[in-house]
Amino acid sequence: MPITPDTKNWTWVLERPCAECGFDAATIGYRDVPELVRRNAAAWPAELARPGARDRPDDATWSTLEYAAHVRDVFRVFAGRLALMRADDSPAFADWDQDATALADDYAAQRPEAVAAELVSAAETVASAFEAVPDDELGRTGLRSDGSAFTIDSLARYFVHDPLHHLHDVRR
């Protein structure tokens, strides 16, 4: 069975705890996010260095390598969305199909060491970008193509669930 495209709308993670990874957005402040990102990123190189990092646990589940490549791209995509929200008033985000990207960019064929380095670097970029936002800009808004509305504050807390959840995925 191939990977089932993820069409779930994950914005509920802002409303209630995630039963799978334990993330609870209500306990996380905006200013916690950069440190959470850096700590998360620091854990990935060891996961990617494990034998079997390229192997899928089953046909329908990404390998550690594929999850890591996805997390790297999440860091990049959200750095872009944040920049857009700071530059424009209520911008609409470009669509990002994470499953199409995984295939188009052939995540499974990328080199684990390269992905590890890129992930850590992308994490630092997005962590610094969130850190640099002054308090009086945290209410700036942006819209996803499905109509979900975010502020910079809610975007940060929504975003950080993704890398935390996937680190949980590869460790179980």
Our CB check for Zn ion shows the closer of 118 and 154 to be 154
Our CB check for Zn ion shows the closer of 14 and 21 to be 21
CA atoms within 13 A on the CB side of 69: 24
Our CB check for Zn ion shows the closer of 79 and 164 to be 164
Q: Give the nearest distance from C-beta 165 to Zn ion in angstroms.
A: 3
Our CB check for Zn ion shows the closer of 5 and 22 to be 22
Q: Which residue is nearest to Zn ion (CB)?
A: 18
Q: Give the nearest distance from C-beta 49 to Zn ion in angstroms.
A: 24
3-state secondary structure (DSSP) of residue 63: coil
Residue whose C-alpha is closest to residue 68's, from 115, 33, 125, 3: 115
Q: H-helix or E-strand containing 79?
A: helix 64-87
Binding site for Zn ion (CB under 5 A): 18, 20-21, 23, 165
Residue with tokens 């960019």, as numbered in its chain? 105
Q: Give the nearest distance from C-beta 163 to Zn ion in angstroms.
A: 10
Q: Give the nearest distance from C-beta 22 to Zn ion in angstroms.
A: 7
Cα-only R_g, the chain: 16
Pairwise CA distance, residues 46 & 76, whole Å? 21
Pairwise CA distance, residues 151 & 82, whole Å? 10
Pairwise CA distance, residues 98 & 51, whole Å? 25
Our CB check for Zn ion shows the closer of 23 and 150 to be 23
Residue whose C-alpha is closest to residue 128's, from 136, 116, 120: 120
Q: Give the nearest distance from C-beta 152 to Zn ion in angstroms.
A: 21
